[in-house]
Amino acid sequence: MSRKPLLRVRKTGALMVAAVIAFVGTVPLAGASWGLAPVLLIPAALFVWAWRAGTDVYADELRVRALVGSTRVPWARITELAPDQRGQISALLDNGNVIRLTGVTQGNLARVLSAGQQQISHPD
């Protein structure tokens, strides 16, 4: 059974546009020789990654999606959400592991927490 996330956080759409431009740019190269045809797979994979990768927010968990596969993280296992130097958010889990939340930044963290019905607490 598939359920719909409360919020989908994705990377910018500019990555998909760049992948399409790269694909169009590699067509003449791939057309020059059959041996170069696999070059088309690189921008195609970039497009699929940009379209798929991100973080889906549910009331009981987060699902971090990559090009292939996904990781489910229950809210109860997350002890802390913290930004890195670039403003990307990572989740510290109760077992000490850290998972980077693809697409989640300081700018949209409040929306993620609100959609997941999580309380914001600040350390003293």
From first to last of its 124 residues, the chain has per-residue pLDDT tens of 468 888 999 887 888 899 999 999 999 988 888 889 999 999 999 999 988 899 999 999 999 998 888 999 999 999 999 988 888 999 999 999 999 999 999 888 989 998 988 877 665 5
Q: In a 3-state reduction of DSSP, which class is residue 98?
A: strand
Pairing state between β 78-83 and 98-105: unpaired
pLDDT reported for residue 117: 84
- As a whole number of angstroms, the distance between CA 62 and CA 6 comes to 10
Please give the structure tokens belonging to residue 105: 């930044």
pLDDT reported for residue 85: 87
Q: Count CA within 13 A, CB hemisphere, residue 24.
A: 5
- As a whole number of angstroms, the distance between CA 122 and CA 109 comes to 14
Bridge partners of 91?
Answer: 81, 99
- Between the two ends of the chain, the Cα-to-Cα distance in Å is 42
